[in-house]
Amino acid sequence: MAGNTFHKLRDEIENGIVTGEFEPGERLDEVQLATRYGVSRTPIREALMQLSAIGFVEIRPRRGAVVVDPAPERVFEMFEVMAEMEGMAGAFAARRHTEEDRAALVAAHAQCEAAAISEDTDRYYYENETFHRAIYAASHSGFLEEQCIALHRRLRPYRRLQLRVRNRMKVSLKEHGDIVAAILAGDMEAARTLLRGHIAVQGDRFGDLVATLGKRDRRKSLMG
């Protein structure tokens, strides 16, 4: 076994949470995970410790680890902060982007457009992520980039169905276009405002999120 099993396990379990394999509120049994991954409890525990520090799981003393199941208000707060962080990244990008950043942004936007035209939501989801990461990179703040990526991952379980909403892809693409224009024009405040609005949970998307959270709560109450 390579030197850093716990690191791989951390990624593995985190991925399971992010993709919804382990649902919010689900109990994470140490021995069960250990047998599943063919290791002992020790590296499993170390992985869970790391995940608890990031906020993916909660470890209650003597009662084991569960996937964090934040209250709806907390999820809204997280989206709210995400919106501001993206705005921040956009503002920095507008001020600091290089020629390469510009090319990457335009290319990522074009890929999103292609995905939107072919109405391939899965592909759009992927290209959308590339687009946003291009903005983070263009901010030229490695720290901000990391923070954005981390928060983005944490929110992924709550963003799953968003793009399947009617017309969301087209609206999203239009917003991307405006964002690219603002960044390339070096307009910090426009980039900030547009990105904030692009991410923010408001209008229809508010209802979508409520529906998602509602489903989750129903399931939870069924399970006791």
Residues of this chain that bind a copy of itself (CB under 8 A): 3-4, 6-7, 10, 42, 45-47, 49-54, 61-62, 73-74, 77-78, 80-81, 84, 88, 141-144, 147
The CB-of-150 to a copy of itself minimum distance in angstroms stands at 10
Q: From DNA, a copy of itself, none, which one binds at residue 200 (CB under 5 to 8 Å depending on kind)?
A: none
- Return the number of other C-beta atoms located less than 10 Å from residue 215's C-beta: 11
CB of 77 to a copy of itself, least distance (A): 4
For residue 42, the minimal CB distance to DNA (Å) is: 4
> Of DNA, a copy of itself, none, which one sits near residue 224, judging by CB under 5 to 8 A according to partner kind?
none
Query: Which of these segments, 17-25, 34-42, 112-120, 125-133, binds DNA (CB under 7 A)?
Result: 34-42
- From the list DNA, a copy of itself, none, which binds 190 (C-beta under 5 to 8 Å, kind-based)? none
Q: What is the 3-state secondary structure (H, E, C) of 133-190?
A: HHHHHHCCCHHHHHHHHHHHHHHHHHCCCHHHCCCHHHHHHHHHHHHHHHHHCCCHHH
Instruction: List the single partner that 65 binds among DNA, a copy of itself, none, CB under 5 to 8 Å by kind.
Output: DNA
Closer by beta carbon to a copy of itself, 5 or else 121: 5
Nearer to a copy of itself, 4 or 98 (CB): 4
Binding to DNA (CB under 7 A): which residues in 38-67? 38-43, 45-46, 59, 61-65
Residue 69's binding partner among DNA, a copy of itself, none (Cβ under 5 to 8 angstroms by kind) is none
Residues binding DNA (CB under 7 A): 1-6, 29-31, 38-43, 45-46, 59, 61-65
